Structure 1
Amino acid sequence: MKKIHVWLAAVLLAVGMVLVASGPASAEPYCGLVWGSLAKADPALSQAKVTNVRTGQHYCFDRLVVDLNGPVAGYNVRYVPQVTQDGSGAGVPLRGQAFIQLTVNAPAYDDTGNSTYNPADKNEFTTVTGYQTFRQVAFAGSFEGYTTLGLGVRARLPFRVFTLAGPDAGSRLVIDVAHFW
């Protein structure tokens, strides 16, 4: 009788393992995010000017926000082997294992050439120490109506780009980079 119980327990265990192993293999995306890592762009040109750049941390992603004094009208955000400066094409050194070049189709200077955004340190726009994904945010230049930023990140991770109206007559270009795939 003891052998039958041992044999029955072994069969039930084997059947249970088969049922568990053959269940659906669907992995939920990290935090429900379904973003990709391919370039995102809007070719329109803007009359707005860049006025500020800031960053923030969220549970599932790190966020970069570019403030403008009018409506955002265009951008190009993509992973690149190296971020390059506007005009000269010189490389911008960044910390991280992957690099995002963010070009806003808006200048960081007014119609008379005066700066509308002049960070204290162009190599460190904002402190991102302790961020899960961001490693460095640097200024790559503002030339012929375009402003370029370099974003050093931990790895090539999914990101999204969108615009928000406000505050007041201004707008914001938002780039979120996920912490994981």
Structure 2
Amino acid sequence: MIMRIGIVGAAGTGKTTLAKALADHLGSEYLPDTVIGVLRELGRDSWRGVSDVKQRRRVREDALRRKIAAEAEHAAFVSDKTVVDYLAYWLQNQSEHEDAATNTRFVADCRAAAARYDLLVYLPYREVVEYAVGRSTDATHNLKVAAHKRGLITLLNLPAVDADYTFGEDLAAWCDRHLAAPGRVG
């Protein structure tokens, strides 16, 4: 089973943990979140302190280019955060600062890249999340972002499953439940 799988969800839902474990279980390439790498190249470990709107745009655009390129390099992969996540954060935090042409281009790039996924695994919103560097623990912010992500999956008509993941869960059983017959979230 060759699949291009993307892990999508709100902060603290286990996206990275699941993506790494699932890639290992399936023998697929694990593709990390590229935003972190771009921020680290700027000497940052998170978005905190990156307040200049133009710099934030450059980070988001560079991260999106890297994510799309990484996903295009592999026939099968598990992507930790997806272009759907990147688009949700663009809409949440960046779009109001941009002109129509910039927004149209970013949305179009995300839509085109999202069409390549065979399946998106949506990890549902959790009201309480553990602190981690770069992760928001603001329940209202995380709810808004989760709503954007879930809405984009529906609006773009992407193949997706709602899939709670319990840390340490048997991945063979998890795959049997969630990868065998993907439906739509909603």
TM-score range relative to shorter protein: under 0.3
Larger Rg: 1
**With structure 1 as the length reference, what TM-score do the two structures score?**
0.26
Q: Which has the higher contact order (CA 8 A, sep 6+)?
A: 2
**With structure 2 as the length reference, what TM-score do the two structures score?**
0.26
- Larger strand proportion of the pair: 1
- Larger helix proportion of the pair: 2
